Structures are given as C-alpha cells and as structure tokens.
Amino acid sequence: MEHIEESKSRQVAEEAREAQWKRESFLRDLFLGSFRIDLVHPYPDRPVERREFSDFYKSFEDFLVNRVDPVAIDETGEYPPEVLTELAAMGAFGMKIPTEYGGLGLTHREYERVMELLGSYDANITALLSAHQSIGVPQPLQLFGTEEQKRKYLPRCAAGAISGFALTEPGVGSDPARMTTTAEPTPDGRAFVLNGTKLWCTNGTLADLLVVMAKTPPHGRISAFIVETASQGVERRRCHFMGLKALANAELRFHDVVVPRENLIGAEGQGLKIALVTLNTGRLTLPAATAGGAKACLEICRRWSNARVQWGRPIGKHEAIAHKLADIAASTFAMMSVAELTADMADRERYDIRLEAAAVKEWNTVRGWQIVDETLGIRGGRGFETERSLEARGEPPVGVERMMRDSRVNRIFEGSSEIMHLFMAREAVDTHLRVAGKLIDPKATGREKAFAALKAIAFYAVWYPTRWLGWGFWPRFRAFGPLARHLRFIDRASRKLGRSIFHGMLVHRARLEQRQAFLFRLVNIAMELFAMVATISRATRMRDEKHDAAGEARQMADLFCRGSRRTVISHFHDLWHQDDAIKYSVGQAVLSGKHTWLETGIVGLGRYADKLEPSNEKVVQAGSRHSRVQSIDPPTSPALRDDQGHAARRRS
C-alpha cells in the first residue's frame, strides 16, 4: 500500500512539472556538463531608468522612512490600516500588473529593486506585497487567465484588493497526491462546490481574493480557482509565528463554498502546473529581499566594527572580525549579482528560468541567513537585545534581533531548502531519464529496455567523451583578466558535474532518487558555480564600464570565488567519501525508538502523545519491533514547495 501511494505521488508530481525545455537555461546545460557562459555574459546593462519608475521608487522610499514603523508593526503584530491604505493609493499592490489593467507595469528588474529596498527595512510588508503579487491572484491570472478574468480581477488587485494563494493543507505539504480539498461541479455545471481546509495561506486573513487548489472529479486532478473570501462558507483563523509578527497568515476552511465556473483558472486538472509555472518568477522576490537584508547587515557590521573598541583597537581591526566583514561583503556582492541576473533573465523571452529561480531563491536565502547570524554575533549582546530596550538605554535601536526572527522563514517560504533541492535534482537528471530511464525502470519490458539501450549508446557515445575533453586552462577566458582562472575552474567543474551525475546513475540506478544527500551535493555544486559566474560577469561589466568601484568589485568577486572553489571541491569529494549510509541507519534507529534513552531526564512531550500521533501514521517494522512513525512526503515529490510555507511561508 505504501508503495502504491508513493507511485501515485510521483505520478502526480511528474504530470505537474514542465516536461519540455522550449527555451534556454544556463543551469540545465550546466547539469549536463556544458558551461554556456554566453547565457550569462555579458552581464545585463542597467536599463535606462523610466521616469514613471524613478518617481514611484522615490515616493516608496519616502513612504517607508516617514510612514512605516517596523518596530511598532512587530510589537503590535498588525499592519496599520493607514499603511495599507497608502500602499494601495500609491499603486504598490499593482507593481507587476500591466498598466492596461490599472497597475504600474514594472519589469522584473524594476520590481526586484523595490523589493530589495523593502527587504532592507521591513520584512512584514515585504511578505504582504510579495505574496499578493508574485503568487497571489495577479501572477497566475496574467499567465493563465482569460481576458474576462483579467479585466474583472486585475484592476481590483492593482487598487489594493489583497490576494493570497492556498495549496498547503494540514496533512499535505509538498505531496499534492494526498490533497483532500475538493471542488465538485454542481448538477447544472455552472459552478463548483468547494470543501476542505488549507493551512499557512499568507495574507489569508486580509485577502479579498484567493487562488485555491482543489481536486476536481472524475479524474481527481488538481484545479485552480479564484475564490472570493466574502463568499458564504469561508472561515479564516490566523496563525502566529516566531517572526513576521504581522503576517496575516491563515488556516482556511471551506464549507460548501460555491465558486462560479468562470473562476476556474486554466483548464480543469492544470492546477499544479499553474502553481509551478507561477513560481518560476514568483520566487524572485526573496532573492532580492534577502540581498537588501544583506546590504543592511553589512552597514550594521561596518559601523559597529569601527565604533566598538576591544583591547585598545576597534573590533574590525582584529583578524577574527575582519575576516567576517570580508565574507559578508563578498557574499553580499554575490547575492546582488545572482538576484539581478536572474531578474533580467525573467524579463527576456530567451530563457526558461525554472532552475535559475529555484537556485537563486535557495542560495540567497541560505547566505542571507548566515549573514544575519554573523551580524548578531558581531553585535554581541546588542544584537540579541530588542530595539525598544536599546533605545531605552540611549543606544541606537538597531534591530538585528528582529531581523533574525524574520529571516529564518525565508528558507521555508516558497519551497523549503529540501524541496528546492529535490526540484532541482529532478531537473538535473531529466535528460538522462529521457535517454536511458527505461534501463533502470523495473516496470519496463524487455523490448523497451533494448530500445532504450540503443538510444543510450547513441547518446553517450558522443556526450560522455566530451565531458572529459575540453580545454579549461590558460589562455582560455583571458579577457576576464585576474578572474579568468575562476572561469577556467568553473569550466572544468561543469564537465565534472555532468560526469558525476552520470556516474551516480550508473552506481545507484533506480535507487538514485533515494540518495538525497548525493543529489543535494550535486545541486549545491551547480548553485555555487552559478553564483560564481554571475559574480565574475558583474565585476567584469563594471570594469568594462569603467565604474568607479570596478577595482573593488573585482576584489569582491575574487574573494568570493576563492571560497566557493573550496566549497565545490569539498562537495565533489563528499559525493563518494561520506557517512551517508551510517547516518541513514542511525536515523532509522532513532525513528524506531532504539535511542530513546538519550531523551531521559527531560520534561518531554508525553502529555501530547495523542496529538503527536496523527491518523495518517503507519505501523512499520523496525528490526524485530513495531514502531509508529508519521508518514512523510515521498523523496521524489518535485517542487511544490510547502506552498505557503512549512511554518509560515511568507508568500503563499
């Protein structure tokens, strides 16, 4: 039974993913061992700033500084009504909506600049605006909606009607096959009747409109609907979290909610595909916002390291802190580079950015969290102290403590780190599965295997030798000056990455999908190489433009790439030399209860035992004993992020 459920989950996930690559992708080629520098260099020019955008940007910045109090929003846990009203009046809810529907019509790069600014100042409003525009009603409607739907709803959204996205359920995160919310057609076929529960819907308690995913008969596939929260039968309960105290995140319950058929987005059964395609650009807010946060951290650390004196010298003069400052600066430059590059790709018809968007979301949020953690360490006790407490003692109210609480969820929003890795890993092996998948498919017939063998021989006879051949040494890339050696490393590493993926398939065969640690290392290598080339390309662009900070940018790129090379080399080593097997064995032993003696001497969770054993638990055999363990999402479920967030996905 468990195997059947896993197969069904895999089938649902496979049907939802985009099967074809109709446009170019830097990371897709990189996973195949091909370093296509022409896809990321020259680094995009900064576009000529439109007057409409510069006016909005300036007014938005003034609004943040003069009208928004992040400390008060954090303390009260509410968005002030006047702030919401002013955001709507200036068009902030319609930044990405075309002007023909009442929006501002910003490009992705313009939108990312605004979100970078906002990310440096207030995470609560970042979550509000991002959830509304990137995966709320506006984005899926622009991509898949009818003209009638666009004219009905987009002007409302642009004017300030807040929206959200509802996919996750209490028992369902990244495994949509287990979704229980249903939308049954009425006898006359003019509407659907919606029933079910959704969890962690960002903006859910404020939203006028929702995109809701539900199963529709007779096939049981998932469809997407626009739901008015004022409809009879919609119930909302707010969720509260460690950070983002004002986040209007909700548990939603639908009791016989009537949804007109014209509110169906796309065709029946296309809901998951709509969600995934929407996220290709929807994920780009977080990289920009975290880059803005990194910039803010850099300023905090620089100023404090000059002002704070220990042992007769500013702490920044001590090597330990100086090294931290250097790493924060280099990482900030890299975060800016990949975020801006990917946003530019999203504005061009040339690219399919499904992998780049996932990579920059994952890489920037991880780096951003590390930078916040280092910032708190550099600030010491003042980093742990609240702004109000600092101010009461007469010190500047620098909110590192609030920043840390608000930042951790970024690695969960729009797909947790684990889900992002699984999504990218699935795409990494896509070509190999299409060429030779039948060879490792236990269900394939002998004839299918024979045909697949011939196909594989023809492909790999050409592909595999070229992953060894190639010149990744001097004088290649010499036009990049001192940074050329890092590009030569990327070229060699890309071919090794392609070979390693192939070798992994040969060694692990059908079990490869279960080797998540192996796959995750491959993904980490690709993300690091992407960040390296983006950073080098940007520094080179600054050099060619004779930018005043060109020399400093080259130094930042060089320092960043030096560290990334060591990271890549370490990941390559760990592909074949690690403790994965014993870690899995010990993990399963812990799961089975063999090490509960380690939990003695604590005030445990026994008082919640009944609630900690949900009905979807299964009895499994663990050695000679039976243990109850909660069923988990299958490891191959691609990337339906825990939609709005495992614990509060900020933007649903």
CA distance linking residue 256 with residue 335, whole number of Å: 46
CA distance linking residue 388 with residue 559, whole number of Å: 37
In angstroms, the Cα distances linking 223 to 97, 184, 214, 272, 493 are: 23, 11, 6, 7, 42
CA distance linking residue 371 with residue 386, whole number of Å: 19
Count the residues in the chain.
652
Tabulate helix, strand, coil % of the chain (nearest 5): 60, 10, 30
Q: DSSP states of 51-111 as a string?
A: HHHHHHHHHHHHHHHHH--HHHHHHHTS--HHHHHHHHHTTGGGTTS-GGGTS----HHHH
How buried is residue 90: exposed, middle or buried, by Cβ count under 10 Å (0-12/13-18/19+)? middle
Query: Angle of helix 319-346 relative to helix 516-544, nearest 10 degrees?
Result: 90
CA distance linking residue 479 with residue 445, whole number of Å: 53
Point out the catalytic residue in the list 112, 169, 362, 414.
Answer: 414
How buried is residue 23: exposed, middle or buried, by Cβ count under 10 Å (0-12/13-18/19+)? middle
Contact 175, 637 (CB under 8 A): yes
- Any idea what the Cα angle at residue 522 is, between residues 493 and 471, rounded to 5°? 15
Strands (E), 492-641: 617-622, 625-630
Cα-Cα-Cα-Cα dihedral sign, residues 370, 376, 378, 380: negative
Give the three-class secondary structure for 586. helix
Q: Is the peptide bond before 475 cis (omega within 30 degrees of 0)?
A: yes
- Residue for token digits 């998948």? 437
CA distance linking residue 12 with residue 252, whole number of Å: 24
CA distance linking residue 69 with residue 170, whole number of Å: 33
CA distance linking residue 584 with residue 15, whole number of Å: 30
Residue 18 a catalytic site member: no
The encoded tokens of residue 357 equal 């968007």
For residue 313, how many C-alpha atoms fall within 13 Å in the half-sphere facing its CB? 8
The residues carrying an active-site annotation are 414
